[in-house]
């Protein structure tokens, strides 16, 4: 029988071929949307092979943290994107709280976390109180970080979740006798949603698969080396000029290559394979010891109500 390591190498040829095609696009500086689709599709495939029982986003972000070689980068918070999120909710606040105590979600899936944050803030659900909270957080972020195109580029647009939280917590503790302290304590889930890994999932993976495509600055996509924030314009929606995270092609290519190499090495070392690969290259009856049963869905009992 062919050694397991050789069979794993053979199984990974399809991923190596994807990396070669992406490398060709990078060399020719062409097809940025297809480039992003191939990278995100393969990363999504890997993360769903490797993990079960969590959301697709958590699988994706967890896989990047483990195998991309950029664990610290992906754990950092993208402050301009967080700032724009808060600015958006400040803009639509009259519709979110159209009457005191009544909350409205324009998009239940997208707005649920924000509504939970407001509910946990300890503040009265009225426009004046919640608007004051959002303005306080945004002003505090502006003082330390570059969150808009008009600010100095000497300020950083990145920081760790812990550092951002501690900064907001310390300022809130001193502001108006801690009026917004309870709200800041409830902010961690939203901060995690704006980690670089989560932004790659939401802004690139989701938009390239489920929407029209990804907004990229094509020249910079093929020349920049690492994550940066580009200036974008929208004349119809306030603010008209804003910063938006960008993942250049070379950075995405390195992530893909690292993930292919890292995951392949892990499977060779552990000799435990996810079901998708195990069922393709192993004898199910004779080599069951090589199956990583964590990759199997756990299932659940069926509840039947008798009438």
Work out the burial of residue 88: count CB atoms within 10 Å of its CB; fewer than 13 is exposed, 13-18 middle, 19 or more buried: middle
Q: Are residues 190 and 84 in the same domain?
A: yes
pLDDT at residue 53, as a whole number:
66
Residue 238 domain flag: no
Q: At residue 157, does pLDDT exceed 70?
A: yes
Are 98 and 113 in the same domain? yes
Q: Specify if 138 maps to a domain.
A: yes
Would you state the structure tokens that stand for residue 210, as one six-digit string? 């489920």
pLDDT digits (tens, 9 = 90+) for 40-58: 999 999 998 887 667 889 9
Q: Is residue 37 part of a domain?
A: yes
The DSSP call for residue 48 is H
Residues 214 and 288 in one domain: yes
In this model, does residue 185 exceed pLDDT 90?
yes
Structure confidence at residue 109 (pLDDT): 83
- Is the same domain home to 10 and 65? yes
Question: DSSP code of 195?
Answer: B
Residues 102 and 184 in one domain: yes
The whole-angstrom separation of Cα 81 and Cα 198 is: 11
Do 35 and 142 belong to one domain? no
Q: Examine the pLDDT at 239 and tell me if it is beyond 70.
A: no
With respect to residue 58, please indicate whether it lies within any of the assigned structural domains: yes
Q: Does 118 lie in the same domain as 53? A: no
- With beta carbons less than 8 A apart as the criterion, state whether 210 and 109 touch: no
DSSP string, 72-140: HHHHSEEHHHHHHHHHHHHHTHHHHTSBTTB---SSHHHHHHHHHHHHHS-S-SSHHHHHHHHHHHHHH
pLDDT above 70 coverage of the chain, percent: 98
Least confident of 25-29, 109-113, 144-148, 199-203: 109-113
- Per the structure, the complete domain to which residue 213 belongs is given by 4-75+198-223+249-295
Tell whether 88 and 179 lie within a shared domain: yes
Mean pLDDT of the chain: 93
Q: Quick one: average pLDDT of 65-85?
A: 96
pLDDT higher than 80, residue 297 = no
Do 99 and 175 fall within a single domain? yes
* Res. 236: pLDDT tops 90: no
pLDDT classification of 306: cutoffs 50, 70, 90:
confident
Residue 18 domain-assigned?
A: yes
Give the single-character DSSP code of 248: -
User: For the range 45-48, what are the long-range contacts, defined as Cβ-Cβ under 8 Å and sequence gap of 24 or more?
Assistant: 46/15, 46/259, 46/263
pLDDT at 300: 72
Model confidence at 228: pLDDT above 70:
yes
Can you tell me the mean pLDDT for 16-28? 95
Question: Burial, 188: exposed, middle or buried (Cβ in 10 Å; 0-12, 13-18, 19+)?
Answer: middle
Whether 188 maps to a domain, the answer reads yes
Q: How far apart are CA 27 and CA 168, in angstroms?
A: 43
Q: Give the chain's domain count.
A: 2
3-state secondary structure of 233: strand
The region that residue 69 occupies, defined by phi over 0 for left and psi between -120 and 50 for alpha, beta otherwise, is left
306 lies in some domain: no
Residue 179 and residue 95 in one domain: yes
Q: Judge if 85 and 164 occupy the same domain.
A: yes
pLDDT of residue 280: 92
User: CA 78, CA 197: separation in Å to the nearest integer?
Assistant: 10
Give yes or no: residues 29 and 99 share one domain.
no
CA quadruple 263, 44, 57, 297: dihedral positive or negative?
Answer: negative
Query: Which pLDDT value is given to residue 216?
Result: 95
pTM assigned to the model: 0.91
Inside any domain, residue 307: no
Reported residue count of the chain is: 307
């Amino acid at each position: 029988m062919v050694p397991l390591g050789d069979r794993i190498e053979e199984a990974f040829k399809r991923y190596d071929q994807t990396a070669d095609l992406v490398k060709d696009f990078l060399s020719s500086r062409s097809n940025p949307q297809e480039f992003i689709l191939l990278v995100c599709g393969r990363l999504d495939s890997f993360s769903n092979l490797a993990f079960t029982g969590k959301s697709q986003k958590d699988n994706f972000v967890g896989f990047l943290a483990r195998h991309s070689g950029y664990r610290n980068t992906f754990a950092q918070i993208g402050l301009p994107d967080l700032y724009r999120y808060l600015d958006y909710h400040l803009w639509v606040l009259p519709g979110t709280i159209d009457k005191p105590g009544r909350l409205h979600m324009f998009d239940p899936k997208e707005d649920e976390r924000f509504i939970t944050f407001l509910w946990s803030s300890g503040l009265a659900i009225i426009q004046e109180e919640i608007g004051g909270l959002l303005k306080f957080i945004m002003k505090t972020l502006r003082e330390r970080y570059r969150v808009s195109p008009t600010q100095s580029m000497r300020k950083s647009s990145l920081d760790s979740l812990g550092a951002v939280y501690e900064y907001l917590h310390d300022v809130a503790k001193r502001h108006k006798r801690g009026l917004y302290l309870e709200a800041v304590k409830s902010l961690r889930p939203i901060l995690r949603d704006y980690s670089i890994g989560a932004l790659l999932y939401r802004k690139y993976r989701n938009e390239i698969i489920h929407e029209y495509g990804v907004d990229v600055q094509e020249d910079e996509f093929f020349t920049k080396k690492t994550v940066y924030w580009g200036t974008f314009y929208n004349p119809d929606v306030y603010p008209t000029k804003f910063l938006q995270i960008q993942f250049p092609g070379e950075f995405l290519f390195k992530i893909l290559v690292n993930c292919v190499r890292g995951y392949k090495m892990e499977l060779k070392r552990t000799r435990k394979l996810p079901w998708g690969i195990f069922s393709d290259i192993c004898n199910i009856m004779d080599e069951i010891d090589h199956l990583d049963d964590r990759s199997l869905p756990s299932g659940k009992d069926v509840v039947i109500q008798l009438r």
